[in-house]
Structure 1
Amino acid sequence: MLVHETCSGLFTKPPVITTFPLDKTTSSDLVVIENIPFSSLCEHHFQPFVGTATIAYLPNDRVMGLSKGARVLDYFAARPQIQERLTNEVAAYLYEQLNAKGVFVIIKAEHYCMKVRGVKKHNSATITTASLGEIDKQDVLSSNQLATNLK
């Protein structure tokens, strides 16, 4: 299970990002994919952390297949990890692969190392963000119900 599922990101190649060219009929405005579930493994305590991610990007000349954001998240989450690094890795990989004008990633997760050991604080959540390029964080935060979901 650890090799083939929980830590498979250590032994596999990153996903290929399918993209489609922008044309006159394709919007070049902000794309936001929210509430993407994931699980990972805390590298310090080997306890799971689970949550959701929001991936937003501002296309340059291409848009990605919508499932690819979730695949990138799963790839980087499938290894012993800390949430801060996970957030940055997803943003950096998408920014590079998409040649996007900007990328913004938000991850909200509950850490079992905080729930079942140490301070034992149930229902606490950690929110991390990563922003690269020309993207307005406020545009992302105000899109749909995202601002409400982070409360």
Structure 2
Amino acid sequence: MEPHKGIVKVEGTARPPDPARLAGVIRDLLSALGEDPEREGLQRTPARVAEMLQEVLAGYWMDPADLINGAIFEVEDNDLVLVRDIEFYSMCEHHLLPFYGRAHVAYIPNGRIIGLSKIPRVVELFARRLQVQERMTRQIADFLEVVLHPQGVAVIVEAAHLCAMMRGVRKSHARMVTQALTGIFRTDPRHRNELLAHLRRPPEKL
């Protein structure tokens, strides 16, 4: 089956930014903070930070069609599909500090499924950019809706935010939970309860 080119719209740019330009910005930032970018410990910091930013914000430059890469298959079985405990790391767009946690992604097929490895990649597509958790949760759900047209999608995200842990209220144990439900997960409590029952079970060693 052909990937859905042109259907899945994800905001971003076609190519990563210029590393030299990024490094220059970091060098200026160090100077503005009163540091000496030429001292031994900081000489390579601008280049390192530029490389790091291109890695942790790589979601801006991922092509959704390449991500799917034809890994959509027709099936007759329309039972629950759940990938739980997907680790992710993202960057808060308000303070440029990381937030990280786990995403649980489920859907009820409607004759089509997506390759198992693609679901964590979808999470990365939206996590590896400047984000707020609420929007990221909804984007993951909407992406799967567009690609699969399933009976329903459920995305539940639990995360710790360094902007609340290091600054501001400084609550190191606070966790934020967001969810996005579509279709049958929103309208039928039986399917929601089935999903929650799976998530209540502790992960088993395989």
Question: What is the TM-score with the length of structure 2 in the denominator?
Answer: 0.66
Q: Is the 8 A contact 1:2 1:8 kept in 2?
A: no
Matched, 1:140 2:190: no
- Identify unmatched segments of 5+ residues in structure 1: none
Matched, 1:110 2:160: yes
Runs (4 or more) in structure 1 with deviation over 2 Å come to 1-4
Give the aligned partner of residue 134 of structure 2.
84
Could you say if the C-alpha distance between residues 84 and 90 of structure 1 is closer, same or farther in structure 2, counting changes exceeding 3 Å?
same
Which deviations, in whole Å up to 9, do the C-alpha atoms of 1:51-73 show, x marking residues without a partner? Answer: 00000000001111111110000
- Identify unmatched segments of 5+ residues in structure 2: 1-50, 186-190
- Partners of 1:62 and 1:148 lie apart in 2 by 27
- Partners of 2:92 and 2:128 lie apart in 1 by 11
Matched, 1:16 2:68: yes
RMSD between superposed Cα atoms in Å: 1.5
- Partners of 1:83 and 1:54 lie apart in 2 by 13
Q: Is the 8 A contact 1:22 1:28 kept in 2?
A: yes
Could you say if the C-alpha distance between residues 129 and 84 of structure 1 is closer, same or farther in structure 2, counting changes exceeding 3 Å?
same
Q: Greater Rg, structure 1 or structure 2? A: 2
Q: Kindly indicate whether structure 1 or structure 2 has the higher relative contact order, using CA contacts under 8 Å at least 6 residues apart.
A: 1
| Identical aligned residues as a percent | 39
Give the Å deviation of 1:12.
2.6
Question: Which is helix-richer, 1 or 2?
Answer: 2
The count of residues paired between Structure 1 and Structure 2 equals: 144
Which deviations, in whole Å up to 9, do the C-alpha atoms of 1:93-117 show, x marking residues without a partner? Answer: 0111011110000000000001101
Secondary structure of 1:70's counterpart equals helix
Query: Which has the higher mean CA deviation after the structures are superposed, 13-22 or 95-104?
Result: 13-22
- Partners of 1:80 and 1:22 lie apart in 2 by 36
